[in-house]
Amino acid sequence: MNLPNKLTVLRIILVPVFLAFIYIESIPLHFLWAAIIFAIASLTDMLDGKIARKRNLITTFGKFLDPLADKILVIAALAVFVELPEVQMSAIPLVIIITREFMVSGMRLLAAEDGVVIAAGIWGKLKTAFTMAAIVVILLYLVVFYDFGAFGDAQEFIHTWVLGGLIWISAALTVISGVVYMKNGWKFVAKTM
């Protein structure tokens, strides 16, 4: 297994570590540790692609596993935010994101039947990068307000408008990228009808 693929596998392995830090409140500064783990996992997403392209280490396995690792990481974090009382994220953006992921994954499977591997496009990369950045901001909010108890007066504004705005922008980018993927790959779907 080459280095980019190892980084992708590491991203998947870090998901349960991230979840442990989020949920185990007895760990001092548990939100801070969760934020660090998520940030490291997010950086592996950037690094694996750069290394693969620079060293010409692009593999079919990597094209398949990289977006899957992204989905696992992002959906795990957003699902936690729906459940976590400190965030109370609406489940609607999560449903939008999961629906898009199933649709795009299904289309990729249909394309694979024709021997075509559909790599992530610019909208998909933008959606993933923005969503990961939004999750880091939400984690930093948890660190500031719950691990350190700072800036109490601004908490409601940040929680409602900043965090909510970031999540809904992520959902909008998800819809846009999903439409672009479906438009570009509709020929694979149409062949099955």
Task: With a cut of 70, say whether residue 167 has pLDDT above it.
Answer: yes
pTM of the full structure: 0.90
Strands (E), 91-171: none
Is residue 192 classed exposed, middle or buried when 0-12, 13-18 and 19+ CB atoms within 10 A define those classes? Answer: exposed
Contact at 8 Å (CB) between 147 and 30? yes
How do residues 103-112 score in pLDDT, each as one tens digit? 988 888 888 7
Q: Could you tell me how many residues make up the chain?
A: 193
Domain ranges (residues) in the chain: 3-190
Residue 59 φ then ψ, to 5°: -125, 160
Task: With a cut of 70, say whether residue 60 has pLDDT above it.
Answer: yes
Predicted pLDDT of residue 151? 66
Task: With a cut of 90, say whether residue 118 has pLDDT above it.
Answer: no
Task: With a cut of 70, say whether residue 147 has pLDDT above it.
Answer: yes
How do residues 12-37 score in pLDDT, each as one tens digit? 999 999 999 999 999 999 999 999 99
Q: What is the CATH number of domain 3-190?
A: 1.20.120.1760
d(CA 82, CA 85): 8
- 120 backbone φψ class: left, alpha, beta (φ>0; ψ -120 to 50): beta
